[in-house]
Amino acid sequence: MRVRPFDRDRDLAAVLGLVSRMRARGDPGAIFHPGGLQWWLRRLGRTGFEIAVRSEGDDVLGLALRDGCDVIVQADSAHLADLVELLEWVESRARETHEPEIFVSIAEDDDALRGVALSRKYQPSERYGYELVYELAAEPPSASLLPAGFEMISLTPALTDAYVELHRAAWSRPNAPSTYDRRQHDLVTAMPDFRYDLVPIVATSLGTLGAYCMSWWDPRSSAVEIEPLGTHPDFRRKGLATAIVHEVLRRSWALGAKYVLVWGTSGNPEAKALYLSAGLRIRRVLRDHRLALGS
């Protein structure tokens, strides 16, 4: 079988190696950073979330990720023909789960995937995303500035329960509570590239956690990805999120990173404003292409 379901034990290292190589080369289809992908993998086992790989033996040449109707597909530049098989797999699985439509994200300079998608009747939609980047210079970024009564710390195992509650508070919405829990958190912290020292947290002098960011270092591409970042509702509009971003920049510089990135979407203008205010700039735009699956 050329395209098959992702097997964590068998495929994780190979998949992370593929996306790392593609990002290091600057391939047009390189959307994933190894860190962001490891964050996605906490969702394995959830209905509607699945990953497939295109493999030859133990070599992974491409992958497709589907989260409901949202799809990301990428393949090694030497195996772009495999994009067809990966999209076929996604479309088949979406039909089996009765999705009325799917959206595949395509970078503005990824002519190969766009050509394949258009040939399969995908159409550009009004949905888009963007890669925001901070290019690190020879001099270290400015130190984080915090309001009085707050301090910058790092996540530790002892803070696990408080961190999970912070994440849930930051990402819950009216009538849509966050599904993040201890099980998912343990999956994330067990990922090979997870580092406690790359999860800065702003805490009060009494130890209450107010804001955080999980960041991921990929030495091959010399890039750090922010994924995720959040602020507790009780501590918003105090500059804590901006301070967290600056702290990630400082820690990334100390690692020798060339740049820090984060992905944004057209549906979250507040996050875009935060990152632009912290000095990140849009480097690439993704346009979602829609395929109606019919009955």
Range with lowest mean pLDDT among 146-150, 228-232, 291-295: 291-295
What tens digit of pLDDT does each residue of 120-147 get?
Answer: 999 999 999 999 999 999 999 988 889 9
Q: Using a pLDDT cut of 70, give the percent of the chain over it.
A: 99
How do the domains of the chain map onto residue ranges? 3-129+286-292, 134-284
- The one-letter amino acid at 273: A
What tens digit of pLDDT does each residue of 3-56 get?
Answer: 999 999 999 999 999 999 999 999 999 999 999 999 999 999 999 999 999 999
Sheet strand arrangement including 281-292: 3-5, 49-56, 59-67, 70-75, 101-107, 281-292, 123-135, 259-265, 223-231, 209-218, 200-204, 150-154
**Is there a common fold for 3-129+286-292 and 134-284?**
yes
Q: What is the pTM of this model?
A: 0.95
Q: Using a pLDDT cut of 90, give the percent of the chain over it.
A: 93
134-284 carries CATH number 3.40.630.30: yes
What tens digit of pLDDT does each residue of 69-122 get?
Answer: 999 999 998 888 999 999 999 999 999 999 999 999 999 999 999 999 999 999
In this prediction, residue 263 carries a pLDDT of 97
**How far apart (Å, rounded) are the C-alpha atoms in residues 134 and 68?**
31
CATH code for the domain defined by 3-129+286-292 = 3.40.630.30
In this prediction, residue 129 carries a pLDDT of 95
